[in-house]
Amino acid sequence: MHRHPISRTFVIETVLFIVAALNVVLTLLWPDWIEIVFRVDPDNHSGSFEWALAGVAVAIAVLFGILARREWKKLSSQPA
């Protein structure tokens, strides 16, 4: 089995993917988390701000997931 070094780019992309995905999960489980955590109410308790943020987070998670996968494939195709 070959061991390939993991690039800084892969680590950053993976961490950003995880953070964005956690934001989506947090919003699904706790729709008014911004009001509770930051004690502000940007959407008058409608949850629309959190859902908009979750929508952006989904796009970010998909983007960084694709980039991390591409980086992983590039690393695994290099000789050890």
The answer, as to whether pTM is greater than 0.85, is no
Most distant pair of Cα atoms in the chain: their distance: 56
pLDDT digits (tens, 9 = 90+) for 20-74: 999 889 888 988 888 888 888 888 878 788 889 889 999 999 999 999 999 989 8
Q: Measure the CA–CA gap between 39 and 5, rounded to whole angstroms.
A: 43
**Are the CB atoms for 29 and 54 separated by under 8 Å?**
no
CA distances from 40 to 37, 44, 50, 54 (A): 8, 9, 12, 17
Residue-level pLDDT at 2? 55
The more confidently predicted of residues 4 and 13 is 13
**Are the CB atoms for 69 and 39 separated by under 8 Å?**
no
Domain map (residue ranges) of the chain: 8-77
